[in-house]
């Protein structure tokens, strides 16, 4: 943890920056979220660590065995300067949805989410898509093209993920800057479009 003792390594944003924006990079375990953030961030990605008290214990349990009751969830993030005044933060989410308060902290105020998925385990994305939908966080999906993963036509993937027609679905290589940037543009274009029609009002 020597980084904690080296505050002079902090990378300050210039005083001209007045506006932060946030996009979350979501997806199941080992789907390439950290790689994506590292590829597109202008600074070396940083990691926060949130101690989580396991749900099986109560917050009043002070019996002195915290190592057994807590786990730590690492949250990687990076940033991109968009002109002099605006900085975009990209936060990777946990791979599981069981840390709900943490998800809420991450998605609160986010412009939207880019959900990465792996064709070898599309089912692993369902919980995360469901959570984003329940939080009303708009999202796009990007298939991370792993070298040895099978390729499928996007319409088949759309069906497998049960995506709405308006939800953008694209492909990217999380190792490549330009590819990641394009996936973020796909999401942001969607976010700037007028909202899809809602259910008929009663």
Partner 1 sequence: MTGPRQDPDLIRPYVRTGGRTRPSQDVRLESLVFAATGTVQGLGPDARRVLALFTPSQGGGLAVADIAATLALPPSATRILVADLMDQGLLTAPTAAEPERPAASLMERVLDGLRALA
Residues that bind partner 1 (CB under 8 A): 1, 3-5, 7-15, 17-23, 46-51, 53, 59, 66, 70, 72, 75, 77, 79-80, 82-83, 86-89, 91, 101-102, 105-106, 108-111, 178, 181-182, 184-185, 188-189, 191-192
Q: Least distance from C-beta 185 to partner 1, angstroms?
A: 5
In angstroms, what is the minimal distance from the CB of 109 to partner 1?
Answer: 5
Residues 6 or more apart in contact with residue 57 via CB below 8 angstroms: 69
Evaluated on CA atoms 131, 58, 53, 122, the torsion sign reads negative
- Nearest-approach distance from CB 112 to partner 1, in angstroms: 8
124 vs 181, beta carbon nearer partner 1: 181
Q: How far is the CB of 17 from partner 1 (least distance, A)?
A: 6
Select 39 or 125, whichever has its Cβ closest to partner 1. Answer: 39
């Amino acid at each position: 943890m020597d980084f904690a003792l080296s505050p002079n390594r902090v990378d300050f944003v210039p005083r001209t920056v007045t506006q932060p924006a946030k996009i979350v990079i979501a997806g199941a375990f080992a789907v390439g979220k950290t790689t994506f953030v590292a590829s597109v961030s202008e600074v070396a990605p940083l990691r926060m660590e949130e101690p989580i008290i396991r749900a099986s214990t109560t917050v009043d349990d002070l019996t002195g065995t915290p190592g057994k009751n807590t786990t730590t969830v690492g949250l990687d993030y990076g940033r991109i300067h968009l002109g002099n005044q605006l900085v975009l933060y990209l936060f990777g989410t946990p791979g599981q949805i069981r840390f709900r308060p943490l998800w809420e902290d991450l998605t609160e105020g986010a412009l939207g989410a880019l959900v990465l998925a792996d064709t070898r385990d599309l089912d692993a994305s369902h919980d995360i898509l469901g959570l984003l939908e329940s939080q009303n966080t708009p999202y796009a999906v990007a298939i991370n093209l792993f070298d040895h993963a099978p390729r499928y036509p996007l319409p088949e993937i759309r069906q497998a993920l049960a995506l709405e027609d308006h939800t953008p679905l694209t492909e990217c290589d999380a190792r490549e800057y330009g590819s990641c940037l394009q996936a973020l543009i796909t999401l942001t274009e969607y976010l700037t479009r007028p909202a899809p029609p809602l259910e008929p009002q009663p």
